[in-house]
Structure 1
């Protein structure tokens, strides 16, 4: 991963800078998955490492990032976020991403 952050990534990080946990929040709730590119990519806010990598949702890196968050106790919240994204954007493939995570037992 390069040392330079994209402008969108910096804006995402700045958006969360005002909250106590340093994470992106909407109405007081931390968002772990920030959708991009019609569901093909997502920023995954990893509050355990402080990083927000841009990952393809069909990649092994996405599964491993979610697995590390689930191991830290955030699996149920991430699953709920993905279910919400699947309901809100049915044509973006979030249901397939969620099923892939379930099949890989990445959500705990």
Structure 2
């Protein structure tokens, strides 16, 4: 099975208290099982989120069944995902260059060690 990595960035509201709450929502014991299931069901094999100040970086390993369009359709029809997304918008804000409604923007790889 072939896989590929995709990387995204998103910003959080620059408020230390809100950032700590956001981090707690993403801890191993607090992640909603319906959300992790929807992630896996979409073809995402692995996902990691890193933080620097109020900027998030997400690295995903996806299989050949994954497309962002398919994931968006799946999310739109999943009430629990919609609930999660509404909750997360309290903490997140669109990064520079985002269009209306966008929050996670793809990163462009500019270097790879060969």
Q: TM-score, normalization: structure 1? A: 0.33
In proportion to residue count, which structure has more helix? 1
Question: Higher relative CO (CA 8 A, sep ≥ 6), structure 1 or 2?
Answer: 2
Q: Which has the larger radius of gyration?
A: 2
In proportion to residue count, which structure has more strand? 2
